[in-house]
Chains A and B, each alone.
Chain A
Amino acid sequence: DVKVTQSSRYLVKRTGEKVFLECVQDMDHENMFWYRQDPGLGLRLIYFSYDVKMKEKGDIPEGYSVSREKKERFSLILESASTNQTSMYLCASIGLAEDTGELFFGEGSRLTVL
């Protein structure tokens, strides 16, 4: 089974802190995604990556950056956390060889910024 692991399930940070959210997948998938989930807004795409060192902005990239130095790892970075970034963050992956298109999700990282 594909496994997508998000290193932190719950984090509490202070305004202005730098925050790293780590995501690792074990199925050699090319595509990886970071979504933000807020009540009533569904999932909104922050960034995605289709290869090592490649990244593309999603719908809401402001205030975030990403890093993909290795194929299996996709990190989301909040350079200076703000209270409006309090949210659930979901990482997902899919391989190019998959012809069916479903995403594999991690368990989520719930971030609270005080």
Chain B
Amino acid sequence: AQSVAQPEDQVNVAEGNPLTVKCTYSVSGNPYLFWYVQYPNRGLQFLLKYITGDNLVKGSYGFEAEFNKSQTSFHLKKPSALVSDSALYFCAVSPFASGGSYIPTFGRGTSLIVHP
């Protein structure tokens, strides 16, 4: 069975400072890893993904994430936080499945609060 852990319910950071939102995972075989963002009363929006290749992946709105296979982690990062980055962030994992059948598992979410 696959699982995702987001150890922090909330992350607070000052505007302009770097931010990190943590994610660790457990899955059989090679993982597909994702980050999604949710603004209040909205659906989830895709931010970035790791499939294969370079361990550092870049996504929307200046976010990036680093895949670390030995630590089974996929932390979300941004060099300089904006107040508008304040939202709920979800990490998700699904096993690589040929034929395109994906059943992703989501973490519980981390609320990012960026203070002016």
Contact = CB atoms under 8 A, between A and B. Distances in A.
A108 B43 contact: yes
Interface stretch (A11-19, A69-77, A78-86, A96-104): A96-104
Contacts of B107: 42
Interface in B1-56: 9, 32, 34, 36, 41-46, 49, 51
Interface in A88-114: 90, 92, 94-108, 110
A92 B45 CA distance: 11
A25 interface: no
Interface centre among A9, A100, A101 (most CB of B within 10 A): A101
Interface residues of A, number: 30
Contacts of B104: 101, 103
A7 B9 CA distance: 31
A96 B46 contact: no
Interface of B: 9, 32, 34, 36, 41-46, 49, 51, 90, 94, 99-104, 106-109
